[in-house]
A and B are shown apart, each in its own frame.
Chain A
């Protein structure tokens, strides 16, 4: 991981145009470096998903970005993401920055086979590719994420949750983006499957060198895998630091509170009321 920035967001604000307006994201600034895993932690309503959609210019009505700049530092030069529109925007999305959504069952088209959906990506963004080339690349992608290429012809409902999520990752990797934004990619999965997918993501990152913005409420997981972590509360980033420092020396009260909500598996009780009175020691909290 080099210290070269690949995506910079400066003072981004996003508002939902309802009455009264909802300030989902307020003045958020962050810098993502090449090959870095940046964890974005927060609970429901903190604006992390809105921010993710904003970075990809995928905001859904009635959301509106009311201020701020988003700059993508491409090899060929800087791209002003906010100023993009039309074809240029379509070329930017998925090619430079791609996204893995929450809930794969809602993100994969249930009536199209996996092959058709991967094909779709190539036909849209790489019109020069021939049919054979597309098929070969699709099979290669599935192999990359650990899915048997024979499952290309399957439909989403025929795959398990874990496999669907791997297909989503394969689709996001299709155009070799430099940044992948993952919104709670493993939350709905069993813990054992989750660990497998996370391992796969990290393996791919080693190989292909993309940066990841990993969004989740699971702070312990972020501490385990991220380089840096940003903690969001009510639309603002309240703390942004190296993962280890967030874990050992959290500064902000909310970060401390969030950390305290996860009792240690092998350590002491933390905030838990003493369960068993037959043990000695004071009851906590």
Chain B
């Protein structure tokens, strides 16, 4: 794990993010507060989990950090500097902050080869790299995400790979520009169950070796607890609880967090629901 530098400003910071949408109901309109005053900081080598259900605003936060969406107010700061919205400064931001999308089937272009998906970000962010160097580096990245031998995968198209393999390609693509912050938007929720741990462990390994800062967005509390250092619980655009991962799970403070935890499947409670219902619950 990389040494934590003493610079307190180091990190990807979301400061008072607000994102409103205007919804039209015929002639009238209303405002949807998708994100309402969200603040947190991702430090290198640490993982923050953003937990919530659909409509909580967690995906919107991810898209804001990835500069895919604008903010209504608030700001995103990288190492203390406001994140840009266009131009060469945005390119520099993008070379450090990258995203892994939820759906492994639609986040890769069916028309292009795997190699193309990884070479493009390399060429964009390292313009002085020659074609041969880019190719070699792309192969290296494929090996890093355990798609070995890389030659077997390089020339294939996305539909020839399984979901887990595609997600590994997506991770390699995110690493290509030399990113130090990864925003993982539900990276394993669309994968088969027995594959998920492998992909999450890969992310954990890469985080340790590269000192990455990771924002892990999920609705699954169990993986959030084991995969991250800090958990932020979002409900209707607001952060209702935050804290150390183990603490939030084992000693929740907010009522919503407790509801979420109760609703999660827990095999240790086997038979309980049946008994409750039998007694008239």
**A positions within 8 Å CB-CB of B:** 43-44, 190-192, 194-195, 198-199, 202-203, 206, 217-221, 223-225, 243-244, 247, 257-258, 260-267, 269-273, 275-277, 285
Encoded as 1 (CB less than 8 Å from any A CB) or 0, chain B from 182 to 204 comes to 00000000001110110011001
CA distance A203 to B277 in the complex (A): 6
Which positions 224-281 of chain B face chain A at CB distance < 8 Å? Answer: 225-229, 249-250, 259-274, 277-278, 281
B208 proximal to A (CB < 8 A)? yes
Q: What residues of A have a CB within 8 angstroms of the CB of B278 in the complex?
A: 206
Contact B192–A199 (Cβ < 8 Å) = no
B53 proximal to A (CB < 8 A)? yes
Which of B1, B265, B274 lies in contact with A218, CB distance below 8 A?
A: B265
CA distance A44 to B193 in the complex (A): 9
Q: Which residue of chain A has the shortest Cβ distance to B220 in the bound complex? A: A191
Q: What residues of A have a CB within 8 angstroms of the CB of B129 in the complex?
A: none
Closest CB of chain B to A263's CB: distance in Å?
5
Contact A277–B221 (Cβ < 8 Å) = no
Q: What residues of B have a CB within 8 angstroms of the CB of A258 in the complex?
A: 193-194
Encoded as 1 (CB less than 8 Å from any A CB) or 0, chain B from 155 to 197 comes to 0000000000000000000000000000000000000111011
Q: What residues of B have a CB within 8 angstroms of the CB of A223 in the complex?
A: 265, 267, 270
Closest CB of chain A to B219's CB: distance in Å?
7
Contact B192–A217 (Cβ < 8 Å) = yes
Contact A261–B197 (Cβ < 8 Å) = yes
CA distance A282 to B272 in the complex (A): 34
Given contacts A224-B267, A247-B267, A266-B249, 4 further A-B contacts (CB under 8 A): A202-B274, A218-B265, A265-B264, A272-B226
Q: A224-B269, A224-B272, A224-B273 are in contact. Are A195 and B204 (CB under 8 A)?
A: no
CA distance A266 to B193 in the complex (A): 19
Closest CB of chain B to A143's CB: distance in Å?
17
Q: Which residue of chain A has the shortest Cβ distance to B45 in the bound complex? A: A277
Q: Which residue of chain B has the shortest Cβ distance to A276 in the bound complex? A: B229
CA distance A39 to B263 in the complex (A): 19
Contact A265–B273 (Cβ < 8 Å) = no
Top 4 nearest A-B pairs (CB, nearest first) are A223-B267, A221-B265, A220-B265, A190-B53
CA distance A244 to B250 in the complex (A): 24
CA distance A192 to B54 in the complex (A): 11
A-B contact pairs, 11 of them (CB 8 A): A44-B192, A194-B263, A217-B193, A220-B265, A224-B266, A224-B269, A261-B194, A263-B223, A263-B225, A266-B249, A273-B201
CA distance A257 to B192 in the complex (A): 12
Contact A257–B227 (Cβ < 8 Å) = no
B47 proximal to A (CB < 8 A)? yes
Contact B222–A275 (Cβ < 8 Å) = no
CA distance A25 to B205 in the complex (A): 38
Number of A-B residue pairs with CB-CB distance less than 8 Å in the complex they form: 110
Contact B267–A220 (Cβ < 8 Å) = yes
Q: A224-B266, A225-B274 are in contact. Are A285 and B250 (CB under 8 A)?
A: no
Closest CB of chain B to A276's CB: distance in Å?
6
CA distance A223 to B268 in the complex (A): 8
Q: Which residue of chain A has the shortest Cβ distance to B228 in the bound complex? A: A275
Closest CB of chain A to B76's CB: distance in Å?
25
Closest CB of chain B to A160's CB: distance in Å?
11
Q: A217-B192, A257-B194 are in contact. Are A265 and B266 (CB under 8 A)?
A: yes
Which of B193, B196, B228, B265 lies in contact with A224, CB distance below 8 A?
A: B265
Contact A190–B194 (Cβ < 8 Å) = no
Q: What residues of A have a CB within 8 angstroms of the CB of B260 in the complex?
A: 191-192
Contact A264–B259 (Cβ < 8 Å) = no
Q: What residues of B have a CB within 8 angstroms of the CB of A261 in the complex?
A: 193-194, 196-197
CA distance A60 to B261 in the complex (A): 39
Q: Which residue of chain A has the shortest Cβ distance to B219 in the bound complex? A: A191
Contact A264–B222 (Cβ < 8 Å) = yes
Which positions 102-127 of chain B face chain A at CB distance < 8 Å? Answer: none
Contact B250–A269 (Cβ < 8 Å) = no
Q: What residues of B have a CB within 8 angstroms of the CB of A260 in the complex?
A: 197
Q: What residues of A have a CB within 8 angstroms of the CB of B229 in the complex?
A: 275-276
Closest CB of chain B to A264's CB: distance in Å?
7
Q: What residues of A have a CB within 8 angstroms of the CB of B1 in the complex?
A: 277
Q: What residues of A have a CB within 8 angstroms of the CB of B264 in the complex?
A: 191, 265
Q: What residues of B have a CB within 8 angstroms of the CB of A267 in the complex?
A: 268
Closest CB of chain A to B163's CB: distance in Å?
8
CA distance A258 to B196 in the complex (A): 11
Closest CB of chain A to B57's CB: distance in Å?
14
Q: What residues of A have a CB within 8 angstroms of the CB of B274 in the complex?
A: 202, 225
Contact A190–B219 (Cβ < 8 Å) = yes
CA distance A272 to B228 in the complex (A): 11
Q: Which residue of chain B has the shortest Cβ distance to A274 in the bound complex? A: B204
Interface centre among B1, B205, B273, B277 (most CB of A within 10 A): B277
Q: What residues of B have a CB within 8 angstroms of the CB of A217 in the complex?
A: 192-193
